[in-house]
Amino acid sequence: MTNEFIHFEKISRHTWQNLHRKTNPPLTEAELDSIKSFNDKISLQDVTDIYLPLTNLIQIYKRAKEDLAFSKGIFLQKESKKQPFIIGVSGSVAVGKSTTSRLLQILLSRTFSNASVELVTTDGFLYPNQTLIEAGILNRKGFPESYNMELLLDFLDTIKNGQDYQIPVYSHEIYDIVPNEKQEIKAADFVIVEGINVFQNPQNERLYMTDFFDFSIYVDAEVDNIESWYLDRFKKMLSLAENDQTNYYYRFTTQSDEEVMAFAQNIWKTINLVNLLDYIEPTRNRAEIILHKAENHEIDEIYLKK
């Protein structure tokens, strides 16, 4: 075990799945298929073995948070106001964060009766391409400086105070922020914030996004596996773009497979891998829990902060 995991408890899948009494997952195979990213693999068995115990754990944290808020209210002699329970989900590009987040959204809304659960991806907080071009950092898209961190922190602060917020919308099809479109985020019972940068410190270094989280998850895997998932995803993106000239990936559909894969490999090596090793992975131990995936996308180990 490396020093980095010194304050984590390592739990095998086998041990973890027995921490929760066996119940049927509150969603169908079809629903699971509809939420998983198109190159991700996840089964109802994973839901039962991994995500139901995880939902149980989140329940424990939520109760503890409410108890603390109540006691603090008594101490301060004022009524504590209801705040959303905010969950951060981080990890590399192509590691399966979105699937984990969408699955949690369903599980939480069905485990906590009538709970409202909002899901936000930090892609919406990327600067528009034009802004990145003007700053000369379009090739650094996804790196810390390509995000409007002030806006992101303002969003978290507003939501934490129980107020709704409108955020920009990002589209992978056009590879840019959608002009004049906003997504209304309600101060729900749960707000899941998913993105490669959610554990990173903002440029001003004074406030961490993690300060706003009540629970945080890092989805982890070996670098070689993530790379092959990324390349696989890139190929699938191309097949989706074949008949759509407005799609960012359409431009690659006229190239040979060799050219396309060389291009994708280069993007992985010069951008995504660098971002992962320099900025994403170093924040891993800020998570409350690390879900480690094996080559077949199955979660084989869990690290829980002691």
Containing domain of residue 172, as a range?
8-305
Specify if 2 maps to a domain: no
Q: 97 labelled as ligand-binding?
A: yes
Q: 92 labelled as ligand-binding?
A: yes
Residue 278: give its domain's CATH number: 3.40.50.300
Q: 294 labelled as ligand-binding?
A: no
Specify if 36 maps to a domain: yes
User: For 134-164, how does the pLDDT look when each residue is reduced to its tens digit (9 = 90+)?
Assistant: 999 998 999 999 999 989 999 999 999 999 9
Specify if 176 maps to a domain: yes
Q: What's the chain's average pLDDT?
A: 91
Token digits for 203? 């440029």
Q: 162 labelled as ligand-binding?
A: no
The residue ranking higher by pLDDT, 118 or 236, is 118
Q: What is the mean pLDDT of residues 182-191?
A: 95
Specify if 163 maps to a domain: yes
User: For 4-47, how does the pLDDT look when each residue is reduced to its tens digit (9 = 90+)?
Assistant: 788 999 999 999 999 988 788 899 999 998 888 767 888 899 99
- What's the structural domain count of the chain? 1
Is pLDDT above 60 for 1? no
Specify if 122 maps to a domain: yes
Specify if 3 maps to a domain: no
Token digits for 300? 């084989």
Q: 96 labelled as ligand-binding?
A: yes
